[in-house]
Amino acid sequence: MFALVDCNNFYVSCERVFNPKLEKRPTIVLSNNDGCVIARSNEAKDLGILMGEPAFKNKNIYKKHKVAILSSNFALYGDMSQRVMSVLSQNSSALEIYSIDEAFIDLSGIPVKKLLSEIKYLKTTVEQWTGIPVSIGVGITKTLAKVANHVAKRSTGVKILIDSRDVKKSLKNLKVENIWGVGSRLKKILNSFGIKNALELRSQNELWVQKYMTIVGRRLQLELKGIICYQLETNPTNKKQICTSRSFGQLVEEFSKLEEAASMYATRCAEKLRYQHSCASVIKVFIQTNSFRKQLLQYRNISFIKLPIPTNSTLKITKAALLGLKTIFKSGYSYHKLGVIIENIVPDTNIQTHLFDNQNYKVQKDLMAAMDKINSINGQDTVKVASQGFRQPWKMRQVRVSPCYTTRWNDFITVKI
């Protein structure tokens, strides 16, 4: 049994905690550079303001209804999120923080009779301690808990969806596009076969689902049937990719400004990397013009840099990012967005396999011999090396540690920094 706790209109609710005058007033929060709407109060939703809508389009509506328009303050939201999650973790046995405003809770062990009072208590506690209103939905699987939450949001704020007739009814009332995991593409496919609600999807033939919705759809269907495919993930796993990117407030042409942004974002990436005690060896930089402005000349490109040895040094990552930027920069374009991405992330204690890179044949051979020795002493798969015959020029296929790593990077720039 899972509960999904979801903060209502999270960013707006955060703002309201510190500015009670915003209560009852239609309120929206805008993205970076006040570009588009990323949060709406219920009153704003009632005005027909959509999520992700560009803010400049509806200025008249905002003015007419005296909508409070706020720039985003992610430091505040992050802090409020932590407070909510801490209350939840104090009041539950197992917690998975799913996003900044959502968490799954394990409820197994609580008798069904007590469920309602439990989650009502949880809801009240969070609201009293943090000032953030939440909705809680309970279901047998995570997907059903999501469905329950959907129902809760439209009623009293709590919903237990266990009774099979109740489940059936709720699924019938849920449009396919509102199912967790169904986006615009799947909606189109489903609708074209006349499947409009979640109940119809649940009762579809399994082979059909597999064919048109792949394994993802099968899991979705099973979860709707009450068969658990997604467990609670209580240990936050390390990021496999870390990205820092922004749109510029206005178009940028000078290389120096791009450089400035690239080194700032590279620094942020390195910080995030160190925070999770990892190292990375691939640094990507992308730049792009504004694709919405079709009259302008369009250009986008991404550079790949692979470092011989993983690092979490800000300096090294920044240097690589700047080098990458140089390789893709073209003058004569007006740039709109820049991002730095780091990949090939490994724990910072686990870099020995990368010694194989950029070594000559003899050194590699010696290293392999050393690895073999370590393996034979430990008697386990500390380090595995593919048992290929040696060839010239040396091409190592695979060095298997966890995570697995190979040296097939011919098309990439490899730099020593």
Partner DNA sequence: TCTGGGGTCCTAGGACCC
Q: Which residues are near DNA by CB under 7 A?
A: 31-33, 35-36, 38, 51-52, 54, 56, 98-102, 146, 179-187, 214-216, 237, 239-247, 250-251, 268, 272, 290, 292-293, 304, 336-337, 339, 388-389, 395, 397-398, 400, 404-406, 408-409
For residue 2, give the 3-state DSSP assignment: strand
C-alpha 197/C-alpha 195 separation (Å) is 6
Bridge partners, residue 54, by sequence: 36
- Closest contact distance (angstroms) between CB of 113 and DNA is 30
Cβ atoms 76, 14 nearer than 8 A: yes
- Closest contact distance (angstroms) between CB of 365 and DNA is 16
Tell me whether residue 1 or residue 37 sits nearer to DNA (CB atom).
Answer: 37
- Closest contact distance (angstroms) between CB of 215 and DNA is 4
Which residues neighbour 128 within 8 Å (Cβ) at sequence distance 6 or greater?
A: none
Tell me whether residue 92 or residue 344 sits nearer to DNA (CB atom).
Answer: 344
Q: Helical H runs in 290-340?
A: 314-328
Tell me whether residue 146 or residue 319 sits nearer to DNA (CB atom).
Answer: 146
- Closest contact distance (angstroms) between CB of 208 and DNA is 15
C-alpha 382/C-alpha 349 separation (Å) is 13
- Closest contact distance (angstroms) between CB of 245 and DNA is 4
Tell me whether residue 124 or residue 231 sits nearer to DNA (CB atom).
Answer: 231
Tell me whether residue 66 or residue 185 sits nearer to DNA (CB atom).
Answer: 185
- Closest contact distance (angstroms) between CB of 352 and DNA is 16
Tell me whether residue 2 or residue 304 sits nearer to DNA (CB atom).
Answer: 304
Which residues neighbour 180 within 8 Å (Cβ) at sequence distance 6 or greater?
A: 142, 143, 146, 147, 220
How far, in Å, are 39, 48, 202 from residue 33 at the CA level?
15, 22, 42
Cβ atoms 246, 260 nearer than 8 A: no
